[in-house]
Amino acid sequence: MHRILQAGARAHADRPQRSAPRLRLLALAGLALCAGQALASGYRFGTQSAAAEGTANSNGAEAVDASTIFTNPAGLTRLGKGWHVSGVLDYVDPKVKFTDAGSYISLPGSGFQPKATSVAGDVVEPTKATFVPHLYGAYKASDDLAYGLGIFVPSGAKLDYRPDWGGRYNVNFVELKSLAFNPNVAWKPAKQLSVSAGLTLEYMHGDIKRAVPYGNAYAAGLLAAAQQAAAAGASGIAVQLQQQAAQVYANPMFDGGVHVKGQDWGLGMNLALLWELDEQTRVGVAWRSGIRHKLKGSADWTQPATLPANVLAAATGAPYDGKGKLDHNDSGASLEVKTPDSVSFHIFHQLNKRWALMADTTWHRQSTLEELRIKFDSTTPPSITPEHWKNVWRASVGAQYQFNDKLTLRAGAARDKSPVQGQYRGAALPDSDRDWLAFGMNWKFSAQTSVDLALGYVKLKDAPMSITDDGEGEKPCNCSNATVRGNYQSKATTLGLQLNHSF
């Protein structure tokens, strides 16, 4: 019998389709692109300045403090001579609710019916509030020359699902952290024209966990052994193996898990232009390059300790490693990804002494993200997760009112399109189109010191999802064949505080 089990396991190993035995993670997909509910579309964080946040990020051509380094660093030449510092702290309270519509898992070719991984109507809320800091410093050396350094969070978010939720075989926990260091030089080649150039050194770290349905892996091996037994005329053994396979198939008691972490530094650049048409009106253009990352880290697998003795005995031959691990051995892992290029066009117009209007439109080149291909340092073949993102636009308008010499009031609204196409929406990035509404104020304590406050509300369109982890048909299939079905309802409230000081 043991020889039959080994022969069946070898036959299963030689098959071109390896379904559950190798859940190669779409995991690392989330490692770089897990910013599920970032404030902006895709995986951008979306607000790096409380002054900008108060106008829904429409004030790129205003350039009144050091935070202009992020929106349009050419605006550094508009600051007064000497040093300028702006420190920002954002409080973000996202509310994400996933309502399950009947998620399930299957084992193609087994003859088994799909099994539910949740109860339809189950609700999961995977987000919590967080604080995000940014810092900007600038020095204007002369009327025509200025320098600046921005330290900000370009992207990042966190989703922490319940361990037993219906999409646990897709993702259970995902977190993205990033930090960018962006030095810039701004110069005025003409009285009304400012230009700037900068470099961006970006650090990215990701962390993701997911459940692994080892029951399906062992069921597939047992069914392969059963076929070999039947072909050898051992019908009784074949029936026994089929019963054992049915015992472990889609049984969460036999789940394991995988934890993937990775990090990388990348380098990009940015250019900007600010043209002052007259004393009341200025227009600007700002470009930021995408940044290539090769996230390198580790994949740590946890095996179930609950397998029945007869199943465990069947998993001691090839293609297992003698411990029932298949090739799920701990190893290094890596993923190459490029963040999107962006181009912003903005305008600022001072209507009169009290009122000013502003607008911004930004194009994001998201279509470079066709798929996520994860490579493992072991013999495990790469994992492919389809994304097929599209290029998108973001548009915002704002206004501000000079109430008196000390107080300025602001407001703005924006529409932010999502690069995610509905048929490819996944649990690590349940993104959709969103609308922003923002209010803000600036209070001047003195000629050198002021504070900005901003309150924002972001509402996302409902995001239905039905996605199967099947590697988009690639063979061998490093996938769980688990399907997550449901709908996301998401919104967020933001509070920004910014302190500005010049000396």
pLDDT of residue 463: 94
Structure tokens at 92: 């973000």
* Residue 57, CA distances (Å) to 71, 143, 438, 501 in order: 8, 27, 9, 21
Domain containing 306 equals 2-502
Q: What angle do CA 274, 278, 284 make, to 5 degrees?
A: 20
Instruction: List the beta strands (DSSP E) in 101-172.
Output: 104-105, 115-116, 123-124, 130-140, 145-152, 157-160
The Cα 381–Cα 10 span in angstroms is 18
Residues with Cβ within 8 Å of residue 200, at least 6 apart in sequence: 180, 181, 182, 267, 268, 269, 270, 288, 289, 291
Q: 285 with 344: CB under 8 angstroms?
A: yes
List CB contacts of 231: < 8 A, sequence separation 6 or more. none
DSSP string computed for 265-302: EEEEEEEEEEEE-SSSEEEEEEEE---EEEEEEEEEEE
Q: How far apart are CA 432 and CA 425, in angstroms?
A: 9
Is residue 138 classed as helix, strand or coil in its secondary structure? strand
Amino acid at 277: L
pLDDT of residue 117: 95
Beta-bridge partners for 26: none
Determine the length of the chain: 503
Among residues 477, 474, 394, 332, which one has the least CA distance to residue 56? 394
Q: What local confidence, expressed as pLDDT, does residue 426 receive?
A: 87
CATH number at residue 118: 2.40.160.60
pLDDT of residue 264: 95
Is there a contact between 60 and 234 (Cβ–Cβ < 8 Å)? no
pLDDT for res 387: 84
pLDDT in the model for residue 175:
86
**Of 464, 485, 456, 496, which Cα lies nearest the Cα of 40?**
456
Contact 118, 99 (CB under 8 A): no
Domain count within the chain:
1
Report which residue type is found at 187: W
Which residues does the chain have with pLDDT short of 50? Answer: 1-36, 317-324
C-alpha 243/C-alpha 404 separation (Å) is 81
The two three-digit tokens of residue 132, written as one number: 């995000």
Question: What are the beta bridge partners of residue 181?
Answer: 151, 201
Radius of gyration of the chain (CA): 27
What is the spatial distance between Cα 35 and Cα 174, in angstroms, rounded to a whole number? 8
Please name the residues in contact with 62: beta carbons below 8 A apart, sequence gap of 6 or more: 51, 68, 75, 348, 356, 358
pLDDT at 49: 94
Q: How far is CA 249 from CA 114, 216, 463, 483, 484, in A?
A: 10, 5, 31, 16, 18
Q: How far is CA 266 from CA 27, 182, 202, 293, in A?
A: 21, 12, 5, 6
How does pLDDT run across 107-139, given as a tens digit for each residue? Answer: 998 999 999 999 999 999 999 998 999 999 999
Q: What DSSP character marks residue 112?
A: P
